[in-house]
Amino acid sequence: MNPRDSHPVSLPIDLTIQILARLPTKSLLRFRSVCKLWREVLSQKQFVDLHFALSSRTRGVAIESPDHAASTPDLVCVDPILGVSAFSLDFLDDRVKIRASCNGLLCCSSVRSRGVYYVCNPMTREFRVLPRTRERPFTRSEPEYEATLVGLGFDPATWRIHVAIAGFHRSFGRWPRGGDRRLVCKVFDAATGAWTRFAASMCDEFTCMNRNQSVYAGCSMNWLTHCCRYVSVLDLENMLWGKITLPDEVLATRQGTRFYLLELEGSVSVVQMSRFWMSTWVLKDRAKEEWALVDRVNLRCIDGYAASVFPISQTKDVVFMATQKKILMHDRNSRVWKEVYGVEGNFTYPLWFSAFAFGSTLFPCRQVRRARRSFFLLAHKSAGRRESHLRSSYKKRGPTFGRSESSIECCLPKKLGQM
């Protein structure tokens, strides 16, 4: 058959989008330079949301290097499918410390300049510098000095960013006790681009581990208190603090167990750990304070680590645990434990203090304008124009077997083209 009598075969744009949405974030960032159509499609909100929905079950752990001598911390990402990969925050051009994470974004505080916070996406290397929390010199009566609690919230539906910081007010040289304690809070809303300050009376304590494990769910920030009787909730819409009591079954067996607060499928989850068992509870109804037991794991297989292992991240399929030098992964379907990351040498800083739940996404940090036209309609029109141009060129010159930006099928990598 004469190749001039055949027409070039191209994948439908809908199929191309579905294939791209199932690829890792790092691959999509490289494919932005393939052609203008792909770059435009991969930047649209509908595609970013589709990619997040398909990759939400592959969230893992991000580990911050404890080497404070370095100008910027090196980060290690442990993914249940892609394995271990390294990346850095050198694009911030500042020495920072990771304080919170949410839906692929990180909240970092500057080590050199107090009151300076960043929200960044380490995969796209996009960042946003938040307004300084205080222009005047810092005193011991401001939350930035203590920074007891730091939380980051990102709503995948609206792409709205919230950052909350809170610290206990105290006069110079005095540490407040009992009912005298006043928690000073500041909340940043990306919609207004400003901080909102308010204060509330609170007698709760927060351990170092509880401070690191903030959960964003339902436009609220959640932290587990030191007493492990309830979850402390910050309502970001009304700027009010509240409490959610833990399940009665958990409170009845609280003696000799440890508790951790994690996120699971967009909901607040409490993990209760004893010597031999790990129980996972999920908050089903916030108003009624109804909890449900969704998983129970026997820890006898890791008896040597059970007393010093901490849950860091979880999905419906896996849960990541951190020891002092290792990251363990438990498959909830096969009930198999696996060591996925380890630190060698004289490493003394425990990994559970520098590990955060993390899943790579394409979410931006800046305010995004609403698209005027549907991105699927735009992709179809662009693909139609390119295919018409390709067919006219084909009739004049004959088939072209090289790489051409005029055709979608030539832009596809070999592996995708063979699918």
Model confidence pLDDT, tens digit, residues 204-230? 777 666 677 889 998 999 998 888 888
CB neighbours of residue 411 within 10 Å: 22
Q: Is the pLDDT of residue 386 over 80?
A: no
**Torsion angle of C-alpha atoms 171, 175, 179, 185, degrees rounded to 10:** 60
pLDDT, position 188: 94
Average pLDDT for 56-70: 73
Average pLDDT for 235-246: 92
Q: Is the pLDDT of residue 232 over 50?
A: yes
Query: Which of 62-71, 159-168, 394-403 has the largest mean confidence?
Result: 159-168
pLDDT, position 342: 85
Average pLDDT for 132-140: 66
* Whether 199 contacts 182, CB under 8 Å: yes
Residues 6+ apart with CB under 8 A from 207: 226
**Size of the chain in residues:** 419
Q: Is the pLDDT of residue 128 over 80?
A: yes
Residue 164 has which token pair? 């909350």
- Name which of 174-188, 219-233, 243-257, 315-329 the model is least confident about: 174-188
Average pLDDT for 363-376: 56
Residue 110 has which token pair? 């500057």
Residues 163-199 have pLDDT tens digits of 999 887 665 555 555 555 678 899 999 989 999 998 8
Query: Which of 150-159, 179-188, 247-256, 404-413 has the largest mean confidence?
Result: 150-159
pLDDT, position 47: 93
Average pLDDT for 320-343: 89
Helix (H, G, I), strand (E, B) or coil at 8: coil
pLDDT, position 195: 93
CA 250, 255, 258, 260 torsion-angle sign: positive
* Whether 220 contacts 209, CB under 8 Å: no
Q: Is the pLDDT of residue 261 over 70?
A: yes
pLDDT, position 344: 75
pLDDT, position 133: 85
- Name which of 39-53, 135-149, 292-306, 354-368 the model is least confident about: 135-149
Residue 385 has which token pair? 């124009």
- Name which of 66-75, 161-170, 379-388 the model is least confident about: 379-388
Look up the pTM and report it: 0.80
Q: Please state, in angstroms and rounded to a whole number, the distance separating the CA atoms of residues 356 and 165.
A: 17
pLDDT, position 130: 94
Q: Please state, in angstroms and rounded to a whole number, the distance separating the CA atoms of residues 185 and 29.
A: 37
Q: Please state, in angstroms and rounded to a whole number, the distance separating the CA atoms of residues 140 and 142.
A: 6
Q: Please state, in angstroms and rounded to a whole number, the distance separating the CA atoms of residues 167 and 150.
A: 9
* 57-358 CATH pick, 2.120.10, 1.20.58, 2.40.30, 3.40.50: 2.120.10
Residue 138 φ then ψ, to 5°: -75, 145
Residue 289 φ then ψ, to 5°: 55, 45
User: How is residue 296 annotated by DSSP?
Assistant: E
pLDDT, position 171: 55
Average pLDDT for 134-160: 72
pLDDT, position 323: 87
More confident residue, 146 or 83: 83
Residues 6+ apart with CB under 8 A from 237: 219
Q: Is the pLDDT of residue 304 over 90?
A: no
More confident residue, 130 or 382: 130
Residues 276-302 have pLDDT tens digits of 899 999 999 988 999 999 999 998 888
Residue 210 has which token pair? 């509880």
| Mean of the per-residue pLDDT values of the chain | 78
**Nearest-5° angle of CA 368, CA 123, CA 410?**
85
* Whether 130 contacts 108, CB under 8 Å: no
CB neighbours of residue 248 within 10 Å: 9
DSSP state string for 156-181: TTTTEEEEEEEEEE--TT----GGG-
More confident residue, 66 or 113: 113
Residue 25 has which token pair? 């974030």
